[in-house]
Structure 1
């Protein structure tokens, strides 16, 4: 506790915890919808697309790479969601093609582009997260807070329609909701959380931040609203615990957070089994 109190004196630790909490909250909200719509792997595919866009931004030496990665990831999210039902190439195949292709192109660009001397370090930190979150400025924290606020406001405003589209698009259409527009909104929300979350756990691990809290919450509750609330709590607690462990023990940030979420899922899974046996 004394070591924890020592680290909490520094503003960069507070900034990192704030950003980590915001990313964990947003990703958990979106994760429930993706799991129920059987789009769990879309986060993995989009994170690779974001990696490719980030590689292009690095080669072009863009100061603010978000302005490139965000629209590219958004377009890919729309295409992948449409591929789930309308395209000739079905969703799982489309995700695999885009995911592997973007990863290969991104690595090629970072390896052959100018300033590629430290390509191994750059690729590793981009894929698995880096300690750059511990060097956040107040402006970057504010930027993350703005993106997170936009995400949460949109989610709350369209909660009922997202709920309807998640379970039955035909029923949602019959009740006056336009599934195409809600799916577009879902694509926008996914793109936001993927791009923002990459700075925390990296492009390869961001899908775990989306999926594990939702799966853990589903072991405990069966109503959509309770699953959303439980998923947010599980994600927040495991992300903060993972970050604190990483800071104090000097372990890899992204991997530590994901391991903390795996432990949370295991605990919820056991609780669910015990509850089932009692009933």
Structure 2
């Protein structure tokens, strides 16, 4: 079955991009979830649509436009979050509202509506060579930075204040992590869809939390689950004629619900 899929160039690209994103998105998602900012991906992905529309209007690559707006939005979230530390979710709501409003206005000036709509649910089987190279480059960057700052990011995820007191350069790492999050969301929005990227950030991590007994184990499980969901989703979408992004996410949701049932039954038996 896999051999038949991989004989097509567009499916080979889809699997390469999908697996790379399945590795880096849980790395970002793990930190985001532990910092109680699970909807950050949702806010950034919706804001990326404004960049997509702007790119189409100006005649530049929409992914580049999405990257710029995502970076601005990510720093906006951090700025507002620091102003309201006890109500950090306000930052997400404000930025998402601004992004959706701007995307709605700019989309009215886009001549090719179908091209803009393809970013809503993604088009992983129709990515260009440039977008493939962009995903590879950003994936390598995220992996390298994540490995280099593994301990620092872990400390910051659990307790940013304590990390700062222990000598971790919180401000610099926060800036770098914000940029990486924005870039990851922007390229993922093109491939899996702006409306469902936040699901890919949260669902594999949630599944990993069901099995992992430590930070490292949870991260490894999250990546493994994300890769499995991606391969399964792409395969099903090809043979059943479904949207790849939505199929990948629904695969993860079904697995998560099944996990809840299994864990729930074990808990009851233990009692």
Structure 1: runs of 5 or more not aligned: none
Contact (CA 8 Å) 1:213, 1:235: kept in 2 or not? yes
CA RMSD of aligned residues (A): 2.0
Report what 1:74 is aligned to: 71
Task: Give deviations 1:155-197, integer Å, cap 9, x for gaps.
Answer: 1100100000011112211211122222212211211210110
What residue in structure 2 maps to residue 247 of structure 1?
A: 238
Provide the C-alpha distance between the structure 1 equivalents of 2:100 and 2:116, rounded to a whole number of angstroms. Answer: 10
Q: Which of 208, 213, 216 is matched with 1:217 structurally?
A: 208
Contact 1:55 1:109 in 2 (8 A): yes
Tell me what 2:154 maps to. 163
Change (3 A) 1:114 1:39: closer
Q: Residue deviations 1:225-258, cap 9 Å, x none?
A: 0000000000010011101111111111221111
Matched, 1:95 2:84: no
SS of structure 1 residue aligned to 2:82:
coil
- Counterpart in the other structure of 1:198: 189
- 1:115-194 equivalences in 2 (<5 Å): 115=111, 118-119=112-113, 121-130=114-123, 133-194=124-185
Q: Is the 8 A contact 1:201 1:254 kept in 2?
A: yes
Correspondence for 1:266: 257
Contact 2:10 2:125 in 1 (8 A): yes
Task: For 1:224 and 1:212, locate their aligned partners in 2 and report how far apart those are by CA, in whole Å.
Answer: 16
Distance 2:128 2:56 in 1: 20
Task: Name the residue aligned to 2:102.
Answer: 105
Using the size of structure 2 for normalisation, the TM-score is 0.92
Q: State the distance in 1 between where 2:104 and 2:167 align.
A: 45
Query: 44, 52, 55: which is aligned to 1:54?
Result: 52
Asked if 1:231 corresponds to 2:228, the answer is no
2: CA distance between counterparts of 1:88 and 1:142?
38
Aligned length: 270
Looking at structure 1, the residues matched to 221 and 62 of structure 2 have their Cα atoms a distance apart, in angstroms, of 33
Shift of 1:264: 2.1
Task: Assess if the C-alpha contact under 8 Å between 1:58 and 1:110 holds in 2.
Answer: no
